[in-house]
Amino acid sequence: MVDLYCSPFVDLIDRMRLEYQTRSSMFDLPAKKWFHPSADPDAPDLSTTFHGRPAGNPVGPAAGPQTQMAQNLVLAYLAGSRIFELKTVQINDRLEIPRPCIDATNIGYNVEWSQELLLHESLDQYVQGWMLLHMLRQSPETFGNPFSDSPIAGPAGDFLFDMSVGYDLKGIQSDTVRRFLSGMLDASKDIEALKALLPDRLMHLRDLDYPSALSSSITLSTFHGCPADEIERICEFLLTEIGVDVIVKMNPPMLGAERLEYLLHDVMGYHEVTVNPEAYTSGLLFDESIEICRRLDTLAKANGRSFGAKFSNTLEVVNHKDFFTPDNKVMYLSGPPLHVITLTLAAEFRKVMGHAMPITFSAGVDRKNFPNMVACGFKPITTCTDLLKPGGYGRLPGYLGDLTAGMTKLGAKTIDEFILKANSHGDEAGGDPVLAGFLNMADIVKETQADPRYTQAKNQMVPKRINSHLVVFDCVTCNKCIPVCPNDANFLYETPKVDLLYRDIAVQPDGTIKEVGEEKEFKVERTEQIANFADYCNHCGNCDTFCPEYDGPYIKKPSFFGSLKAFEDGAPHDGFYVDAQGERYALLGRMDGVACRLDSLDEAGKSYEYDDGVVTLIIEDGRPTELAGLCSGQPHPPHIVDLGRFHTLAVLLNSITSSSRVHQVNAPLVASGAP
């Protein structure tokens, strides 16, 4: 079991402000990769509405790995997201997710679904993310004015949270899920509790305006296979008893086996992919979806709410690869082929349902097809698989850049004008952008089905590997593993170059020590190193996919835990924890499963107490000088101390606590001015 641990709220604020002030980035996303809305009043206005509420633009992260933790929400916002579909929550918040769970090698498969946090932790993360975004907008000076003149305090910065809940009526009606929902509808208590944590130096942040209603809409996620009447009962419950606007997520098999497989196999050439046959019969069918959507739309209107459909869920296919563990008989397909299938399904649905029903879209969305999705009138348009590719969240500004360019080219000042002009259906639609979006869709579906970029032939490349295996220090330092992590678990830290010779130490039963064995070399060749913040790492495997070296950054690079509890719970995985409680830092470690500890005895980094799990040595200038104790307190037979481990710990301790580069491990230390 790999658990996620959320960082203390104040640590997140400190990390954001210190990181921005020292290197113009937040959560490792450089400011030059953010979306900076234009301050030019003549620039195209990307703003939109969702369920009648304003948002700065129609793009956002889909319910998934990019919307689970507070830092994910900040990263998505910095990159331009304005409508966030929060990670799906459900009653079973102790799921055992198989690892790895994300295969974004090319088209995208996964075996992960709902939240990996406890329900109350999910609520807490959403409240924290909400407050952090309001801080960024309302108190930019706290962070060093990261958006400069870009008007994120205005409409271009408006954002919305859309909840996602699953998966059955019983769970959604349970007390725990109801508590979560009421916490999202009115988070005033949680907001006050978080405000109370702010220290004096951040006291001014207490006075900002944090709206207490985090969300008033839900996208319903149902199990692949949830029957139609249950879906309808859940929507009724949400619309009437909970009192929220509702979007129901549709499943790709609604297109029917013949049409779906024609597109998948004959048009796009994914002959190796087999749809799970049960998916066609076990879930919502096309005709049923039309019937229940009509009834629910009427019910929503009668209750002053809005109702719509989301296209779509992932596609359940037979696991034909060896990426996931073999017990995963099925997996969920996303990315380019899903885009074509889902867009076709959405068009069929609209033809029968009518063009007025709001549609949200998420399936293989990327920079190139995003303007077309806007032209179809979808909102929001959410993305996930594309953000798992190299560049991560930093891919999002391209979406908005291309939309802006498209609008400029057409002389469209607003999204509605863009929809009217995009495919020249404005007149035919009588100036109605909703109808124009529907008319555009017919052209865009044809164009998309014929576009070779969605075919298997264009999506079979795998990231290149070189013949090299990762070790603790040094690697190609391509830095790909940092942005591809949705949680910002991988990070750079700085080290001095090290090149020294050492010999191991024999500790005799009488307590004398002496150097033994061959002389060995300890080398650190690069000044920038990769580490992993274990609290944020759920072993999804995505950084391994894109690392050019073998064995996985999250496994081979040093993992640092944010608390002693997380470090202890993380056993037997190797890792480290910086103990800053005493007068000097100490580094607790597990290396190859063996517990060890290094205590710094001076500020110069020359004098240490090193405990290798059996003996404790005093080490001065890299050389052991005396035996300080036996870990068991008992006499022992001759014992060989691997001094290479000491050198590893010493480099890690000094480097990770250095303020030369702020990251999640040292942010609280730098903020507190600890030694």
Residue 306 is classified by DSSP as -
Tell the smallest beta-carbon distance from residue 13 to ligand SF4 (Å). Answer: 22
| Type of residue found at 639 | H
487 touches ligand SF4 (CB under 6 A): yes
Tell the smallest beta-carbon distance from residue 491 to ligand SF4 (Å). Answer: 10
605 touches ligand SF4 (CB under 6 A): no
Q: How is 117-143 classified by DSSP, letter by letter?
A: S-HHHHHHHHHHHHHHHHHHHH-HHHH
429 touches ligand SF4 (CB under 6 A): no
What's the Rg (C-alpha) of the chain? Answer: 27
Q: Name 232's Cβ contacts closer than 8 Å, sequence gap at least 6.
A: 292, 295, 296
Stretch that binds ligand SF4, among 83-91, 272-280, 480-488, 565-573 (CB under 6 A): 480-488
d(CA 92, CA 172): 10
Sign of the dihedral defined by the CA atoms of residues 247, 251, 252, 256, in that order: negative
Question: With helix as H, strand as E and coil as C, how does 552-583 read?
Answer: CHHHHCCEEECCHHHHHHCCCCCEEEEECCCC
Stretch that binds ligand SF4, among 250-258, 318-326, 539-547, 596-604 (CB under 6 A): 539-547
d(CA 490, CA 475): 14
537 touches ligand SF4 (CB under 6 A): yes
d(CA 649, CA 96): 33
Contact flags string 454-473 toward ligand SF4, x per CB under 6 A: ----------------x---
554 touches ligand SF4 (CB under 6 A): yes
Tell the smallest beta-carbon distance from residue 555 to ligand SF4 (Å). Answer: 8
| Type of residue found at 165 | V
Stretch that binds ligand SF4, among 222-230, 548-556, 561-569, 653-661 (CB under 6 A): 548-556
529 touches ligand SF4 (CB under 6 A): no
d(CA 46, CA 379): 12
Q: Which of 356, 450, 457, 478 binds ligand SF4 (CB under 6 A)?
A: 478
Max Cα-Cα span within the chain: 96
480 touches ligand SF4 (CB under 6 A): yes
527 touches ligand SF4 (CB under 6 A): no
Q: Which of 350, 539, 645, 647 binds ligand SF4 (CB under 6 A)?
A: 539
Tell the smallest beta-carbon distance from residue 93 to ligand SF4 (Å). Answer: 19
d(CA 247, CA 310): 6
Q: Which of 391, 426, 541, 558 binds ligand SF4 (CB under 6 A)?
A: 541
642 touches ligand SF4 (CB under 6 A): no
Residue 255 is classified by DSSP as G
Tell the smallest beta-carbon distance from residue 573 to ligand SF4 (Å). Answer: 12
d(CA 133, CA 581): 31
Q: Which of 406, 437, 553, 558 binds ligand SF4 (CB under 6 A)?
A: 553
Tell the smallest beta-carbon distance from residue 557 to ligand SF4 (Å). Answer: 6
Tell the smallest beta-carbon distance from residue 271 to ligand SF4 (Å). Answer: 30
566 touches ligand SF4 (CB under 6 A): no
Stretch that binds ligand SF4, among 40-48, 486-494, 513-521, 625-633 (CB under 6 A): 486-494
Q: Which of 13, 181, 194, 475 binds ligand SF4 (CB under 6 A)?
A: 475
476 touches ligand SF4 (CB under 6 A): yes
Q: Which of 293, 489, 641, 656 binds ligand SF4 (CB under 6 A)?
A: 489
Closest listed residue to residue 98, CA positions, set 331, 284, 433, 325: 325
Tell the smallest beta-carbon distance from residue 205 to ligand SF4 (Å). Answer: 29
481 touches ligand SF4 (CB under 6 A): yes
Angle at Cα 272 formed by Cα 267 and Cα 278, nearest 5°?
90
Sign of the dihedral defined by the CA atoms of residues 257, 259, 260, 264, in that order: positive
Q: Which of 184, 543, 586, 596 binds ligand SF4 (CB under 6 A)?
A: 543
Residue number with CB closer to ligand SF4 (15 or 597)? 15
Phi then psi for 457, rounded to 5 degrees? -60, -30
By residue count, the chain amounts to: 675
Tokens of 293: 């959507």
549 touches ligand SF4 (CB under 6 A): yes
In the block, residue with structure tokens 């620039």: 43
Tell the smallest beta-carbon distance from residue 457 to ligand SF4 (Å). Answer: 27
Closest listed residue to residue 220, CA positions, set 328, 158, 300: 300
Other CB atoms within 10 A of residue 666 CB: 23
Residue number with CB closer to ligand SF4 (468 or 632)? 468
Residue ranges in contact with ligand SF4 by CB under 6 A? 470, 475-481, 484-485, 487, 489-490, 530, 532, 537-543, 547-549, 553-554, 557
